[in-house]
Amino acid sequence: MKFKLKKSYMEDLELFEYKSDMVWYGAILLFLVLFPVWAGNYWTYNLTLAGVYCIAALGLNILTGYTGQISLGHAAFFAIGAYTVGYMTSILGLSYWLALPLAGVNSALIGLIVGLPALRLTGIYLAIATMSFAFIIEHVIIEWPSVTGGANGLIINRPSIGGWSLNTDASYYYLVLIMVVLFVLLTKNIIRTPPGRALVAVRDSEVAAQTMGIPLAKVKTQAFALSAFYTGIAGALFAPLINFIGPDNFTIMESINFIVMIIVGGAASIHGSIFGAIFITLLSEFIRVGKDALPTFMQQQVGFQGAVYGLIIMVFILFEPMGLYGRYLKLKYLFEVFPLYRKDTFRREKKFQKTERTR
Amino acid sequence: MFWQLFSSGMALGCVYALIALGFVLIFKATDVINFAQGEFMMLGAFVAFSLIHYAHLPFWLTVILTLVIMAAFGVLLDRTVMRFLVGEPTFSMVMFTMGLAVFFRSIAGMIWSTDTYTFPSPLQGGVIHLGTVAIAQGDIVVVFSTALLVLLLFLFFRFTDVGIAMQATSQNQFAAYLMGINVERIFSLVWALSAMVAAVAGILLAPILFLHKDMGFIGLKAFPAAVLGGFGSIPGAIVGGLIIGISENLAGGFLPLWVKDVFAYLVLIAVLIVRPEGIFGIQERKKV
Amino acid sequence: MALLEISDLSKRFGGVRALKDVSMNVEQGEVHALIGPNGAGKTTLFNCISGLYRPEQGAVRFKGRDITRKASHKIPQLGIARTFQNLELFRNATVLDNIMLGRYMHKRTTFFSEALFLPKARRQEVESRRKVEEAIDFLDLQPYRNRMVAGLPFGIQKCVELARALTLDPELMLLDEPSSGLNPEETQDLCFRIEDIQEELGITVLLVEHDMRVVSEVCDRVTAFDFGEVIARGTPEEVQQHPEVIKAYLGEEEEDAAASA
C-alpha cells in the first residue's frame, strides 16, 4: 500500500491524499471538459442527464446514505425543483438564473417541513411515509394546472446568459458539469467537517449522538432540508434539459430510480453517487448494445428493459452491497496487498435477532 | 349513497387488508419486508385468468389450482432467492423486493402483454337490496371471503403447532432453531401462505377493477395500510386496510374526485404524526 | 454543594419500579462507584442523569442547576459525559472519526463556513484534531487511529468510547461497567487510567462496577443499590462489610469482599 508521511494535521484534511490522485482527477476533468468535442450531441445529452442525476443522487445519499433516513419519495423534491423553475420561467416569465436558486430553496423549505413529522419515524414507517408524500405531490402536480400545467405538462426553454442561449447540447452540458463539480466539492466539505460527522453519528447510533451533544431533531431536519436542496437544484437543471416536464416524469418509479442509483453506485459515498447515477442513466444504452448479443426472441420482448433493471437491483443488493465504488475499492485493495489478500476480508455481518437490528 | 360507498369501500378495503396481511405474515415470520406483495396478487390473478380463459377450467377448480400454484411459487421463491435476504438490514430488503417487483411486472408484461383484461367471475353481477340500499353482490362476496380467510388464519396461528412455530420464528430465529423448529421449512410455509393470500386478493380484486400487469400498483396502497395499522400486527393490517378502503371511497363520494387518490396517503401521514408506530404497533426503543 | 445531587428520584416502567426514592451525592473531584446486583437500577439511574429517561419524581442537580427535565443532547453541553455498558460506538466510522465527535458541541463555526471550508473552519478542524490526539495519546490508541471501529478488539473499543467521552472536556464522567469484558491486564490499565483522569485531568468520575477490585483500588466512595433503592453508602471497605450489601450479593461476593478488605 502506498504510504505518505504527513507532517501536519492539515495534510490529513486535504482533498487529495496523494499527488498522483490530483493528476488522475485532473485527467478525468479534462476528459469531461473535452467530451462534447469528440463525443457528439447524443452522448453529450446523455451525459448531461447523468450529471443532473448525479446531483440528485448526492442529495439522496446525504439523507439516506449518510444520515440513515430512508426516503422513497425523492422524486417529489425533484419535481418541486423542476416545477418551481417551470412556473417562474414559463408562466411568470422570470429569469432562469433567479429561478434556479429559488428552486433549491423552495425544495429545501418543503424538505424541512417534511422532516419535522419524519423525526419520530424510522425504518419502514419512514419509507412508507416518504413514499406517501411523493404520491401526494404527484397528485398536487396534476390537480394544480395554473401552476404546473396539470396533466398537460409545461414547456420550459433553455436559459440564456446575456443574449447567448444555452440551446445546444454542449452549452447546457457545461452548465451541468460546473454544477456537478460545485456540488461534489460542497459534499466533500460537509463530510470532512463536523456537520458530516454528525450525520453519520445520527445514522450509526442515535443514543450515542445524543450523549455527544448532537441535537437529533435539528440534525435530521437539516439533513432533510439539505438533501431536498440538492434534489431541487437537480430538478431545476432537469427541466430545461428535457424541455418538457409532465407528471409522468416524477412517479414512484423515479423515486425508486434514485435509490437504485445509490445502491448500485455505493451508499454514503461521493464516488458512489456519481458511479451510480452514470451507470443507471446509461443503462438503457448498455441494454440496447447488449441486446444485440442475445437470441432474437429475447430481444423483442417488451418488458426486457424492466426485467434487466429489476435483476440489477437484486444482484447488487445480494452480491455488491457496497455498490460499484465498493467493488472498485475492494479490487484496489486486492491489488495493493497482493498476494496477501485474505478471502473473507469484506464479509458482511448478518443480524438474526430482531433486537440486534437497529435500522 | 353513503352505504353504497361504504360497502364498496369495505370490499376494496378487504382487498387491501388481504395484501397487507400477506405482507405482515412474511414480516412477522422472516423479518423480510416484501414490496413485491402486490405483484404476487397480480400473478395470482393472471394465473387464475389463464386457467379459466385458456384452459377453460371451471371456476372453483381454478381457484384451488391457483392457490396450489401460487403456494408452490412462494416456496420456490423462498428457497432460491429469499433465503439470502435473511439477516440483511431493512433498507436492503426493501430495495431487493422492489427489484423483484419490477422484475415480475416485466415478466408478466412479456407473458401476458400490456393489455387490460376483464376477469370472468361467477361471483359478480347482481345486486342485493337491504331496505332502501342496493349493495353489489360482488362486494358482499369479497367481505365474506376475507372474513372467512382471516378466521381460518386466526385459528391456524392460535391452535396449530405450525402456527405457533411461526410465531416463535418471528420473535427470534436463533432461539427457534435451538428449540428444534425447522426454521427453513417454516419460512417456506410462510411464503407459500402469503402467496396464497395474495392470490385470493387478486381473484377477488380483478373482477371489481381490471386485470393488467401494473395491477400490483394498487398493492402499493396496502403498504400504508399495514403501516397505519402498526407494522407487524395482523389485526393492524386488517384494520388499516379497511380504514383506507372505506375512507378513500367515502372521500371520493363527498369530496372532489381527485382527493380520492391521495386520501389514503393523507390519512396515513395524519395517523403517523399522532402515533408514529401505527395503531396497533409497538414502539421499539433500543435499551442502553 | 456537591457536584451532582440526586434527590428522591423515582422511575417506573409499567409495573416495575426501577428506582425508588433514590438520593445520593457525588462530590467534586472524587471517584464514586455504584454497585449492586444486576437489575438494581444502576444503569437506569445513569439514563435518568443523561436525560434518556424521564423520572416520574425527584430531581437531578448538577452544579446547583436542576437538569432533571433537560433534553438529552443538552446534558453533555453542561459538562457530563458517559460511556455505555454495551458500547454505543459509531461502528461504520474510524476511531478518529468517532473521537472527533466529541468536539462537535464545542464547534464555533457556522454551516456556511464549513460548507465552503473557509479558513476559520480549517483552523477549527486542526484544533479539534489536536485535542483528539491528546485523548488518543492519553489512552494509547495511536496504532488504531484510522481503523474501522467494527473490527477492533473489545478492550480497544472500550478505550475508544472512553476517549470519545474525554474529548467532550467534561467535568463529570459516567462510566457504565468500564471493566466488563476486559482481561485482568486491561482491567489494571483501566484502574490506572481512572486514577489519571481524576488526578491529571481533575474530572469527577461516577462509575457502575461489578469488579470489587477496581472499586477498592480507585474509588473514594461507594453507594450500593438493590431493587432500585440505596442500601448502603460509604468508603469501599465500609460498604463491602455492610450486612445489607452482603445479603444482596448472597455469598459469592462475601469471599471477594473478605479477600480484598
> Is the model's pLDDT at C223 over the cut of 90?
yes
CATH architecture of C4-79+170-260: 3-Layer(aba) Sandwich (3.40)
Using the 8-state DSSP alphabet, how is residue A8 labeled? S
Inter-chain CB proximity B272 and A139 less than 8 Å: no
Inter-chain CB proximity B286 and A358 less than 8 Å: yes
Q: What value does the mean pLDDT take over residues B103-110?
A: 90
> Is the model's pLDDT at B219 over the cut of 50?
yes
Tell me the chain B residues in contact with residue A314 when contact means C-beta distances shorter than 8 Å.
Answer: 81, 96, 99-100, 103
What are the angstrom distances between the C-alpha of B106 and each of A345, B71, B101, B166, B214?
36, 21, 9, 32, 9
Using the 8-state DSSP alphabet, how is residue C251 labeled? S
Confidence class for position C259, pLDDT limits 50, 70, 90: low
Q: Express each pLDDT in C188-210 by its tens digit.
A: 999 999 999 999 999 999 999 98
**Smallest CA–CA distance from C86 into chain B, residue:** B288
- Local structure of A243: helix, strand or coil: coil
Spatial CA neighbour of C102 closest among C110, C93, C111: C93
> Is the model's pLDDT at C81 over the cut of 80?
yes
Which partners does chain C have (≥3 C-beta pairs < 8 Å)?
A: A, B
Across the interface, of C111, C125, C150, the residue whose CB is closest to A13 is C125
Identify from B272, B275, B287 which residue to disrupt to test chain A contact, counting A C-beta atoms within 10 A and taking the largest count: B272
Round to whole Å and give the CA distance between A104 and A97: 12
The structural domains of chain C, with segments of one domain joined by +, span: 4-79+170-260
Round to whole Å and give the CA distance between B90 and B30: 12
Inter-chain CB proximity B89 and A259 less than 8 Å: no
- Find the range with the poorest average confidence among A132-136, A351-355, B12-16, B253-257: A351-355
> Is the model's pLDDT at B130 over the cut of 50?
yes
Inter-chain CB proximity C104 and A214 less than 8 Å: yes
CA atoms lying within 13 Å on the CB side of residue B62: 24
- Find the range with the poorest average confidence among B108-112, B222-226, B238-242, B251-255: B251-255
Inter-chain CB proximity B31 and A304 less than 8 Å: no
State how far residue C2 is from chain A, nearest Cα, in angstroms. 22
Across the interface, of A143, A317, A353, the residue whose CB is closest to B92 is A317
Identify from A113, A314, A349 which residue to disrupt to test chain B contact, counting B C-beta atoms within 10 A and taking the largest count: A314
State how far residue B275 is from chain C, nearest Cα, in angstroms. 19
Confidence class for position C257, pLDDT limits 50, 70, 90: low
Residues 57 to 86 of B: which have CB under 8 A from any A CB? Answer: 81, 84-86
Q: Residue C260 in contact with residue C212, Cβ under 8 Å?
A: yes
> Is the model's pLDDT at B53 over the cut of 60?
yes
Across the interface, of C117, C121, C168, the residue whose CB is closest to A212 is C168
* pLDDT the model gives residue C63: 92
B131 touches chain A (CB under 8 A): no
Q: Residue C240 in contact with residue C260, Cβ under 8 Å?
A: yes
Round to whole Å and give the CA distance between A77 and A73: 8
**Smallest CA–CA distance from A303 into chain B, residue:** B106
**Smallest CA–CA distance from B264 into chain A, residue:** A132
Across the interface, of A10, A13, A198, the residue whose CB is closest to C104 is A198
* pLDDT the model gives residue A299: 57
Residue ranges of alpha helices (H) inside chain A are 9-13, 19-39, 41-60, 74-86, 96-118, 123-142, 145-148, 169-192, 194-204, 206-211, 216-242, 252-265, 270-281, 283-291, 296-299, 304-319, 323-337
pLDDT tens string, chain A, 359 residues long: the values are: 566 777 777 777 777 777 778 888 889 999 998 888 888 888 899 999 999 999 999 999 999 999 989 999 999 999 999 999 999 998 888 889 999 999 999 999 999 999 998 888 888 889 889 999 999 999 999 888 888 888 888 888 888 887 778 888 888 999 999 999 999 999 999 998 899 999 999 999 899 999 999 999 999 999 999 999 999 999 999 999 998 999 999 999 899 999 999 999 988 889 999 999 999 998 877 777 776 666 666 556 667 788 888 998 899 888 888 888 888 888 887 877 777 777 766 666 665 554 444 43
B113 touches chain A (CB under 8 A): yes
Q: What value does the mean pLDDT take over residues B23-43?
A: 87
Tell me the chain A residues in contact with residue B258 when contact means C-beta distances shorter than 8 Å.
Answer: 139, 142-143
Inter-chain CB proximity A352 and B174 less than 8 Å: yes
* pLDDT the model gives residue A328: 84
Identify from C48, C117, C118, C160 which residue to disrupt to test chain A contact, counting A C-beta atoms within 10 A and taking the largest count: C117
**Smallest CA–CA distance from C170 into chain A, residue:** A212
* pLDDT the model gives residue B9: 86
Confidence class for position B82, pLDDT limits 50, 70, 90: confident
A34 touches chain B (CB under 8 A): no
* pLDDT the model gives residue A356: 47
> Is the model's pLDDT at B284 over the cut of 70?
no
State how far residue A351 is from chain B, nearest Cα, in angstroms. 5
Residues 269 to 288 of B: which have CB under 8 A from any C CB? Answer: 288
Confidence class for position C256, pLDDT limits 50, 70, 90: low
Number of Cβ pairs closer than 8 Å across B and C?
Answer: 7
Tell me the chain A residues in contact with residue B113 when contact means C-beta distances shorter than 8 Å.
Answer: 302
A112 touches chain C (CB under 8 A): no
State how far residue B288 is from chain C, nearest Cα, in angstroms. 7
The reply to whether omega before A117 is within 30° of 0 (cis) is no
C122 touches chain A (CB under 8 A): yes
C91 touches chain A (CB under 8 A): yes
Angle at C123 between CA C118 and CA C124, to 5 degrees: 100
Which partners does chain A have (≥3 C-beta pairs < 8 Å)?
A: B, C
**Residue found by looking up cell 406517501 in the block:** A132
Tell me the chain B residues in contact with residue C47 when contact means C-beta distances shorter than 8 Å.
Answer: 288
Q: What value does the mean pLDDT take over residues B134-153?
A: 84
Number of Cβ pairs closer than 8 Å across A and C?
Answer: 105
| ipTM for the complex shown | 0.85
Q: Residue C139 in contact with residue C48, Cβ under 8 Å?
A: no
* pLDDT the model gives residue B44: 93
Residues 150 to 209 of B: which have CB under 8 A from any A CB? Answer: 171-174
CA A42 from centroid of its chain's CA atoms: 22
- Local structure of A245: helix, strand or coil: strand
> Is the model's pLDDT at B193 over the cut of 80?
yes
State how far residue B92 is from chain C, nearest Cα, in angstroms. 17
A242 touches chain C (CB under 8 A): no
State how far residue A346 is from chain B, nearest Cα, in angstroms. 15
Cell output for A268:
454514503
What is A252-281 written as a DSSP string?
Answer: HHHHHHHHHHHHHH-TT-HHHHHHHHHHHH
State how far residue C251 is from chain A, nearest Cα, in angstroms. 33
> Is the model's pLDDT at C252 over the cut of 70?
no
**Smallest CA–CA distance from B265 into chain A, residue:** A132
Inter-chain CB proximity C88 and A207 less than 8 Å: yes
Tell me the chain B residues in contact with residue A312 when contact means C-beta distances shorter than 8 Å.
Answer: 99
* pLDDT the model gives residue C261: 52
* pLDDT the model gives residue A270: 92
Q: What value does the mean pLDDT take over residues C1-23?
A: 90
Which partners does chain B have (≥3 C-beta pairs < 8 Å)?
A: A, C
Tell me the chain C residues in contact with residue B288 when contact means C-beta distances shorter than 8 Å.
Answer: 43, 47, 52, 84-86, 88
* pLDDT the model gives residue A357: 45
C108 touches chain A (CB under 8 A): no
Cell output for C156:
480497544
